[in-house]
Amino acid sequence: MAEIRNYTLNFGPQHPSAHGVLRLVLELDGEVIERADPHIGLLHRGTEKLAETKPYNQSIGYMDRLDYVSPMCSEHAYVMAIERMLGIEPPIRAQYIRVMYDEITRILNHLLWIGAHAMDIGAMTMFFYTFREREDLLDCYEAVSGARLHATYYRPGGVHRDLPDRMPKHEVTNRGQKRLDRRNYNRQGSLLDFIEDFTNRFPRYVDEYETLLTNNRIWKQRCVGIGVVSPERALQLGMTGAMLRGSGIEWDIRKKEPYAVYDRLDFDIPIGVTGDTYDRYLVRMEEMRQSNRIIRQCVEWLRKNPGPVMIDDQKVAPPKREKMKDNMEALIHHFKLFTEGYCVPEGEVYSKVEHPKGEFGVYIVSDGANKPYRLKIRAPGFLHLAAIDEMSRGHMLADVVSILGTQDIVFGEVDR
């Protein structure tokens, strides 16, 4: 009789479809997974500990670096927690800008997800297509904050500055003036014009992706019936976001516990039926269309309603540079704010947003100091990855890649 032996296989940490630095120890019976044990922490930077040693405002940048494919949403949860503790409310225009950028971020995140997910499964083209659109959106990031990824744009009390009136243009090309003009055709006006032009083009792009994937035979073979999660298990396993909606539970923080101005906007929540990888794919594709709708509404509102984007409370928000030239008090406020920060009243707050990956929460315990006493980041990917053992049991080795893809794992937030 032949000897039956189980394999133990190390998947990662240098595997291209491990989405970064995941070491997945797989116990295999032939090609069937018996147990998956993820070893995480290879990207652990101690964000929570670092935040405890810094004044509140200096940690906004750390939030960008948690989930580095959707930075602004994480910032939103963090600044909202501080705002709630301070009892301040940002101006309405700032809230619209935040929502608009949250949705731009959602599209950015989903574009990277679908590109990487499809490439893991073998559809190389998707990656090129989605990065073409990401480029436009990253330009929006850059126009408003100066950085393409780690924006640090949201501040307690509003956003760093108002939207620019001029969209930066491409300047250098070695392929002639004609091509340069073509690249700059939608950059003649303001940032809002550029974003509006993008929202006009974007639904057609999503159609394009769907033509490539939705009815693609190989795509369906790799996705339908893979990683099925029942609604009960999804709740038990702590799943949120598209992972939960894919299993048919209608829950979206933007609708159920609206923050910022989501209650004034019109959008729908797509949900899945079977809870497999294919349903989650459909849910996320529809979410991109809905995000596009939200962005259009925000652009329309922002055009009509100019106003301040930062509260006029100099204990929290820095004074204007011109004011500091001849106003002693402004100078003192500026000095105090940047050398010491502001003290947040004693208490604790859990603030959450509908991050592209699920519920992103920030739990702050304050003892009244200018630094958080304890900051806990509730990362959606952490709990999703914990479920990979259950989701991949009984599947083939190749399906692990598909399941990792559908979970939309980013190690920046899993490891923190």
Partner 1 sequence: METLVENIQSRLAGKFTSCTVAFDEVTIVVPRDKLIDVCKILRDDAAFEFKQLTDLCGVDYSTYGSTEWSTEATTETGFSRGRVNSSNSRHQWQHDRFAVVYHLVSYSKNQRLRVRSFVDEQEPIIPSVMPIWNCADWLEREAFDMYGIIFEGHPDLRRILTDYGFIGHPLRKDFPTLGHVEMRYDEEKARVVYEPVETEMRVLVPRVIRDDQRYADHEEKE
**Residues of the shown chain interacting with partner 1 in the complex, contacts defined by CB under 8 A:** 40-41, 44, 46, 48-50, 53-55, 58, 84-85, 87, 235-238, 240, 249, 251, 256-257, 315, 339-341, 343, 345-350, 352, 359, 361, 363, 365, 367-371, 373-374, 376, 378, 382-383, 385-387, 415-416
Structure-block tokens of residue 370: 């200018």
Helix (H) or strand (E) holding 24: strand 23-29
Closest contact distance (angstroms) between CB of 375 and partner 1 is 10
Following CA atoms 245, 141, 17, 130 in sequence, which dihedral angle do they give, to the nearest 10 degrees?
80
Q: What are phi and psi of 73, to 5 degrees?
A: -65, -40
Question: How many of the other CB atoms lie within 10 Å of CB of 50?
Answer: 13
Question: How many of the other CB atoms lie within 10 Å of CB of 384?
Answer: 27
> Which residue lies nearer to partner 1 by CB, 138 or 231?
231
Closest contact distance (angstroms) between CB of 157 and partner 1 is 14
> Which residue lies nearer to partner 1 by CB, 296 or 352?
352
Closest contact distance (angstroms) between CB of 204 and partner 1 is 36
> Which residue lies nearer to partner 1 by CB, 16 or 368?
368
**Alpha-carbon torsion 299, 305, 307, 310, what sign?**
negative
Residue with tokens 């073509």: 182
Q: 256 vs 253, 353, 381, CA distance in Å?
A: 5, 11, 21
- Find all residues with CB under 8 Å of 89, minimum gap 6, and list them: 83, 311
> Which residue lies nearer to partner 1 by CB, 197 or 348?
348
> Which residue lies nearer to partner 1 by CB, 148 or 374?
374
Closest contact distance (angstroms) between CB of 41 and partner 1 is 4
Closest contact distance (angstroms) between CB of 165 and partner 1 is 35
> Which residue lies nearer to partner 1 by CB, 163 or 364?
364
Strand 158-159 and strand 374-378: the pairing is unpaired
Nearest to 411 by CA among 357, 372, 362, 351: 357
> Which residue lies nearer to partner 1 by CB, 86 or 159?
86
Helix (H) or strand (E) holding 49: helix 47-52
